[in-house]
């Protein structure tokens, strides 16, 4: 059997854990595959993707800052990718790219499976309205949450996200300046990229938190530290980083490509163990 080619595109991409995760899934499932990390700036992504396809690339993941461009380069996209307006998983079929997004499903699976949370009827605060927020908002609604409040530094983007969700009964946008007046939330999701700028901390009103609040950062590693530090000091019951979501979105992509769902617990545990700098949720 020839080795199938897969990759993750991003900019930067050197730190990506995806090659390690997919290699581990491949070993576990007895599927030979090559999965590499390819650095592509936004203006070079389309050409890099064509080159990858010409070299036999069968599928790829796409990460920052290329997810919206990836969506625009797909001939077809799943309904969840269309709702997100972004793709993190592309599959080559009949000479064309088919787009999907597995981020939202990955987050929900991590929260409900690994973390044991019941999301139904929960009041959820989503901080941020960029690509990461758009990727997870539909899946949170589909998981049965009671209310989604979207707050973003630039309010127009929060309005646009909420409009695109098309659920005026459950999803609302509010101003960042009004966080103090929003009451408390059972789940607080940080989908901003603020933590990637190591110079700044994270602050938000303590009134957002009750004794059962769970905070989750879609980032992992150093980028998740400021928000998770705030969540702990604010008294959140749990503060979870995005490593579990990363492994789960990868499993979902692996299943799309190979038709087999890999087990994720061992891979998750290995990543936690091997890189203690990621262990911000323990
Ligand atoms: P991503 O794909 O990671 O979501 P993005 O689309 O550039 O990246 O979105 C970044 C998000 O983080 C946005 O919601 C952004 O807010 P703006 O829309 O106002 O730019 C948010 N963000 C970035 N830096 C921030 C900061 N210092 N404070 C608050 N929000 C910030």
Ligand 1, residue 127: give the atom nearest the CA.
Answer: 14
pTM metric for this prediction: 0.94
Distance 51 CA to ligand 1 centre (A): 31
Query: Quick check: CB of 198 below 6 Å from ligand 1?
Result: no
Q: Is residue 139 part of a domain?
A: yes
Task: State how far the alpha carbon of 59 is from the alpha carbons of 75, 89, 145, 172, 262, in Å.
Answer: 14, 7, 32, 35, 17
CB neighbour class for 276 (10 Å; exposed up to 12, middle 13-18, buried from 19):
exposed
Distance 128 CA to ligand 1 centre (A): 6
16 and 56 fall within a common domain: yes
Q: What is the pLDDT along the chain (282 residues), one digit of tens a residue?
A: 568 999 999 999 999 999 999 999 999 999 999 999 999 999 999 999 999 999 999 999 999 999 999 999 999 999 999 989 999 999 999 999 999 999 999 999 999 999 999 999 999 999 999 989 999 999 999 999 999 999 999 999 999 999 999 999 999 999 999 999 999 999 999 999 999 877 778 999 999 999 999 999 999 999 999 999 999 999 999 999 999 999 999 999 999 999 999 999 999 999 998 766 444 433
The owner of tokens 């038709």 is 259
Q: How many domains does the chain have?
A: 2
Range of the domain at 213: 104-243
113 and 230 fall within a common domain: yes
Q: Is residue 272 part of a domain?
A: no
- Looking at residue 217, what is its pLDDT? 98
Cα separation, 218 vs 241, whole angstroms: 6
Cα separation, 33 vs 71, whole angstroms: 25
**124 beta partners:** 148, 187
- Looking at residue 280, what is its pLDDT? 41
**Residue 151, domain CATH:** 3.40.50.720
Ligand 1, residue 65: give the atom nearest the CA.
Answer: 2
**Residue 27, domain CATH:** 3.40.50.10860
Q: Is residue 271 part of a domain?
A: no
Residues near 50 by Cβ (< 8 Å), separated by ≥ 6?
none
Secondary element (H or E) of residue 68:
helix 67-73
Q: What is the DSSP letter of 170?
A: T
Q: Is residue 278 part of a domain?
A: no
Distance 272 CA to ligand 1 centre (A): 26
What's the token pair of residue 174?
């509010």
Helix pair 155-165, 131-142: axis angle to 10 deg: 40
């Amino acid at each position: 059997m020839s080795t199938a080619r897969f990759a993750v595109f991003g900019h930067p991409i050197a730190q990506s854990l995806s090659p390690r995760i997919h290699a581990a899934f491949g070993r576990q499932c007895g599927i030979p595959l090559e999965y590499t990390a390819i650095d592509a700036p936004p203006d070079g992504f389309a050409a890099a993707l064509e080159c990858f396809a010409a070299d036999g690339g069968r599928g790829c993941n796409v990460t920052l800052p290329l997810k919206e461009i990836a969506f625009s380069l797909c001939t077809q996209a799943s309904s969840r990718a269309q709702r997100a307006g972004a793709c993190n998983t592309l599959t080559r079929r009949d000479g064309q790219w088919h787009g999907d997004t597995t981020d939202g499903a990955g987050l929900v699976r991590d929260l409900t499976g690994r973390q044991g949370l019941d999301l139904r009827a929960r009041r959820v605060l989503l901080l941020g309205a960029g690509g990461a927020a758009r990727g997870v908002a539909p899946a949170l609604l589909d998981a049965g949450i009671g209310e989604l409040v979207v707050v973003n530094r630039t309010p127009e983007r929060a309005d646009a996200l909420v409009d695109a969700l098309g659920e005026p009964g459950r999803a609302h946008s509010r101003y960042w300046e009004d966080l103090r007046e929003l009451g408390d939330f059972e789940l607080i999701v940080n989908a901003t990229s603020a933590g990637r700028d190591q110079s700044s901390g994270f602050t938000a009103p303590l009134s957002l938190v009750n004794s059962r609040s769970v905070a989750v950062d879609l980032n992992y590693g150093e980028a998740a530290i400021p928000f998770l530090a705030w969540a702990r000091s604010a008294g959140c019951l749990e503060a979870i980083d995005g490593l579990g979501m990363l492994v789960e979105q990868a499993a979902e992509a692996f299943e799309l490509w190979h038709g087999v769902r890999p087990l994720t617990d061992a891979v998750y545990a290995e990543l936690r163990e091997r890189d203690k700098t990621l262990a911000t949720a323990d």
